[in-house]
Amino acid sequence: MLRRNLIRFLIVLTGLAASMPIASARVEININKGNVEPLPIAVTDFIASGDLGQRITDVIAADLKRSGLFAPVNKQAFIEKISNPDQPPRFEDWKVINAQALVTGRVTQEGDGRLRAEFRLWDTFGGQQLTGQQFFTQPENWRRVAHIIADAIYENLTGEKGYFDTRIVYVAESGPKTARKRQLAIMDQDGFNARALTNGNDIVLTPRFSPNRQEITYMSFEGNQPRVYLLQLETGQREVVGNFPGMTFSPRFSPDGQKVIMSLQQEGNSNIYTMDLRSRTTTRLTSTAAIDTSPSYAPDGAQVVFESDRGGRPQLYVMGADGSNQRRISFGDGSYSTPVWSPRGDLIAFTKQSGGKFSIGVMKPDGSGERILTTGFHNEGPTWAPNGRVLMFFRQAAGAGGPQIYSIDLSGYNEQLVQTKGFASDPAWSPLLE
C-alpha cells in the first residue's frame, strides 16, 4: 500500500540568492527539433554527511541521462572538487572537460529532523548561475527530493516542465503463463519504490490515474465478474463503479476527475459510456453493432478518441465528449488500438498491428502526421508522461517469459527499459506530484 507519508509529502521551496547576475546569453536545449544532441552536464556530489549527497546526485544524474537530453560527465573527469556550493565554481575547470552546465549543492539536517537539500545550476561557458533552490522534507523522502531537483534542472534548461517526480501504476505479473499472478502495483517513474496495491488473488487490468493523483481506476475479475473499481491511494478504500449487466472495460477519468469513461459489452457488441462519479448517472455515447472501446479524453475534455471495428477492423475514431460528430482518423495499413490523447493535446498515441508486428506510434488528432516510434514482436498500451514528451508502453519479446515496461521519447531514438522486479504490463503515468 502506498505509504501515507508519500501521499502527504510536503515540500517547501525557496529561491537561493544568486551570487552573480543571470546571464543574458545562456545555455539551453532546443527540444523542438528532431534528434537532440545531449547536453554535457556535470552533477557534483552534494556536500553532506555520509553518502546521502552522492545518492541524491546519482538519482539526479540518472533522471537527466534517461531523458536523452543530457549527458552527465563522468565524475572521474572532474578537475575542481566543490567544497562550498555557495561560491561560484572555477568555470575554466569545467569548460576544459566540456561541461556546459554544472550542478552543485548540499544536504543538511535541520533541528526538527527534516532534510534541507539545496542546489545551484551554473552555466559554465557563460560564467553565470542560472537558478538556485532549496527544499525541506523528511529523510525517507530523499529520492523524491532528487527527482524534484532533476525536474527543476530540466525545466530551466529546456523551458518545459519535467516529469521525474511522478509515479507509474501498472500490473505486476509473476508465475508461469498457465497460472500467472497479476497484482496492481505502483512505483516511481524510474522503477524504484515499487509496492503492491492488491493481493493478486484476482486478475487486474488497465489501471489509470485520476487527475487529482489520489485515486486510480482499474478493471478486476473479482469473483469472476469483470467490474471497474476506484481505489483511493491514501486510504486504500475501494469501491465498484456501478453494477452493469455485461462486461466493463478500459476505464479512464475525465480531465476534471468527475467522470469515468469506459466500454460496456452487451449482447456481443460494446459501446462507450460515461459515469458521473457524483450522481452515478450513466450516459451512452456510442450505439453501434460494433466493438467500441479504449476511450480517452482530450486534455480539454471536449473530445474523445476511441477504438472501433465498425469499419471491419479496429481503427481510431474521434467524437465530441457528448458522442456527436463521430469520425474515423486512422487510414494506414493494419489495425489501430489503445489510443491515448497527449496531455499537450497535440498528438494521439496508439498501438498499430501490421505485418505480424506491433508498433507504438503517434498521429495528430485529425489523423495526419502518423509516425511510428518503435516496432517489435508485441508492443502495446502507450501512456504519456505529464509533459507530453515521453511515452511508456509494455513489450513482450519473442520467446520471452513475460512483458516488460519501456519508455521512448517522441524522437523515437531514446528507448529505455524500466527496471521492475518481475514482469510488468499496462503502465499508466501519473501527473506531476505536488
- String of DSSP letters for 236-282: --EEES---SSEEEEEEE-TTSSEEEEEEEETTEEEEEEEETTT--E
Q: Can you give the pLDDT at residue 9?
A: 37
- Triad 46, 136, 41: Cα angle to 5°: 35
b or e along 31-49 (b: 16 or more beta carbons within 10 Å of the residue's beta carbon)? beeeebeebbbbbbbbbbe
Higher-confidence position of 382 and 20: 382
pLDDT at 17 over 60: no
Locate 276 and state its grid cell.
458521473
pLDDT at 32 over 70: no
Higher-confidence position of 243 and 120: 120
Please state the rounded mean pLDDT for residues 23-48.
Answer: 77
Please state the rounded mean pLDDT for residues 96-124.
Answer: 96
The pLDDT tens digits for 84-102 are: 999 999 999 999 999 999 9
The pLDDT tens digits for 335-388 are: 999 999 999 999 999 999 999 999 999 999 999 999 999 999 999 999 999 999
C-alpha closest to that of 105 among 132, 85, 89, 87: 85
pLDDT at 317 over 90: yes
pLDDT at 5 over 60: no
pLDDT at 25 over 70: no
Q: Can you give the pLDDT at residue 78?
A: 97
Pairing of strands 39-43, 101-109: parallel
Q: Are 355 and 376 in contact (CB under 8 A)?
A: no
pLDDT at 104 over 90: yes
- Triad 237, 207, 420: Cα angle to 5°: 105
pLDDT at 53 over 50: yes
Pairing of strands 357-363, 371-376: antiparallel
pLDDT at 18 over 60: no
Return the sign of the alpha-carbon dihedral for residues 310, 311, 313, 319. Answer: negative
C-alpha closest to that of 391 among 422, 352, 418: 418
C-alpha closest to that of 296 among 244, 338, 241, 242: 338
Q: Can you give the pLDDT at residue 331?
A: 94
C-alpha closest to that of 291 among 308, 305, 274: 308
Q: Can you give the pLDDT at residue 33?
A: 54
Could you tell me the pLDDT band of residue 36, with boundaries at 50, 70 and 90? Answer: confident
Q: Can you give the pLDDT at residue 7?
A: 29
Query: Which single residue is written with the C-alpha cell 456501478?
Result: 242
The pLDDT tens digits for 207-221 are: 999 997 789 999 888
pLDDT at 10 over 80: no
Locate 169 and state its grid cell.
501504476
**Least confident residue range of 11-15, 116-120, 160-164, 256-260:** 11-15
**What 3-state DSSP class applies to 313?**
coil
Locate 390 and state its grid cell.
515521453
Q: Can you give the pLDDT at residue 34?
A: 58
pLDDT at 147 over 60: yes
Q: Can you give the pLDDT at residue 401?
A: 85
pLDDT at 231 over 80: yes
Task: Report the mean per-residue pLDDT for the chain.
Answer: 90
Could you tell me the pLDDT band of residue 400, with boundaries at 50, 70 and 90? Answer: confident
Instruction: Tell me how far apart the alpha carbons of residues 235 and 210 are, in angstroms, rounded to a whole number.
Output: 15
Would the pTM of this model clear 0.85, i.e. be above it?
yes
**Least confident residue range of 22-26, 123-127, 152-156, 253-257:** 22-26
The pLDDT tens digits for 151-197 are: 999 999 999 999 999 999 999 998 888 888 899 999 999 999 999 99
Q: Can you give the pLDDT at residue 381?
A: 95
Q: For the chain, what is the radius of gyration of the CA atoms?
A: 23
Higher-confidence position of 9 and 411: 411
The pLDDT tens digits for 257-297 are: 999 999 988 777 899 999 999 999 999 999 999 999 999 99
